[in-house]
Amino acid sequence: MTSVPQITQKLVWRETPDGVVIVDPTGGNVRVLNEVASDIWKLLNDNKTTADIEAFLVAEYEVESAQAAADVQHFLNDLAQQGLVTLA
C-alpha cells in the first residue's frame, strides 16, 4: 500500500555533516539519523510516497525491492511510535 507519511509539525530538524538531527521542542527529545535514515527523512519532507522512498532505496543502495519495503515500513513505524511522523 502506498501512502504519504507526514512529518509532525511541531518538530525542528536540521541537516548536519553527521546526518539529520530532529528535535521535539515540546518533549526535549533529540534523534540523530544515520545516512540512510536521513535520506528517507528528506524524502518525507518532500512529501514522497512510501513507494517513492522504496524505489529510491533500491536505486541508491542496491537493495532488493522487498527488503526496501520492509525496511521503510519498519523505520516509519518506529518514527510514528515516537510521534515524529503520522502514517495514513
The CATH number assigned to the domain holding 42 equals 1.10.10.1150
More confident residue, 28 or 61: 61
pLDDT for 28 equals 86
The per-residue pLDDT for range 73-83, each reduced to its tens digit, is 999 999 999 99
Pairing of strands 6-7, 12-16: unpaired
Answer yes or no: is pLDDT of 1 > 60.
no
- 2 part of a folded domain: no
Q: Structural domain of residue 74, as residue ranges?
A: 7-86
Residues whose CB is less than 8 angstroms from the CB of residue 18 and which lie 6 or more positions away in sequence, other chains included = 32
pLDDT for 88 equals 74
- 1 part of a folded domain: no
- 33 part of a folded domain: yes
The per-residue pLDDT for range 22-39, each reduced to its tens digit, is 999 988 889 999 999 999
The H or E element containing residue 72 is helix 65-81
